[in-house]
Structure 1
Amino acid sequence: MVYKTCNAETQNGTMNNIAEKRDFLRMAIDCQLSYSKKGEKQSLEGHVVNLSSKGILFTATEKFEVGDQLDIILTPANSPKAPMEASVVIVRASYNGAVYELACEITGNK
């Protein structure tokens, strides 16, 4: 178990130091990704917000439901590393008025 310390603003505007309990730290990543619904050929484009060893958060313009399975390809810009290809399942989906935020669990690498 990893404990990450971060600052959080309370309702009265003060900053409190809190410990966030996670199995794996999230890394903020700014890059595009391609995704498609499992079994479909049409590839769509999204934007990665953060990544951990077991999950990914990205934005999309299309609506999906919790439980939907996707195939993703994440290609870091200006990197010699090979693209990351994985299967994911959506565990949280929300709409912020402009895009959908999809929190996904990585279920397998390709």
Structure 2
Amino acid sequence: MLEYDEKRNYIRMVVDCDIIYKIADSDTLYQGRCKSISGAGVSFIADQFLTPGKAMEINVIPKNAITPPLTAFIEVVRCTKQDNGNYEIAATIQSIKGN
């Protein structure tokens, strides 16, 4: 039997849902696709390059009504260009926005 030691503090959940994001100090909203989320971070696909260190606000919109949406403040850690011209953004969650 294979053993696997999880090195993360939080388990990463693979998701496939819409995400709305905006850069701090801007009112312009952009849409992307959330790929994974954990208690400490999020990754999503965007059509623009986002500079590491950039502060943003995100709203993760689940596919079903059972799961509530998540609004959080994040900081971009990595931005990797994909073969299709989009970018995969990895970010740390700085705080969760309450109601």
TM-score under structure 1 normalisation?
Answer: 0.80
Q: What do residues 11-61 of structure 1 show as CA deviations (whole Å, max 9, x unaligned)?
A: xxxxxxxx4411111000110110000110010000011000010000000
User: Which is higher, the Rg of structure 1 or of structure 2?
Assistant: 1
Higher strand share: 1
Residue 25 (str. 1) matches residue 11 (str. 2): yes
Letter in 2 for 1:93: C
Unaligned ranges ≥5, structure 1: 6-18
Instruction: Give the whole-Å Cα distance in 2 for the aligned partners of 1:25 and 1:49.
Output: 14
Number of matched residues? 94
- Report the alpha carbon displacement of residue 104 of structure 1 after superposing the two structures with TM: 0.4
| Residue in structure 2 matched with residue 16 of structure 1 by the alignment | none
TM-score under structure 2 normalisation?
Answer: 0.88
- Which structure is higher in RCO with an 8 Å CA cutoff and minimum separation 6? 2
Instruction: Give the whole-Å Cα distance in 2 for the aligned partners of 1:69 and 1:97.
Output: 25
Unaligned ranges ≥5, structure 2: none
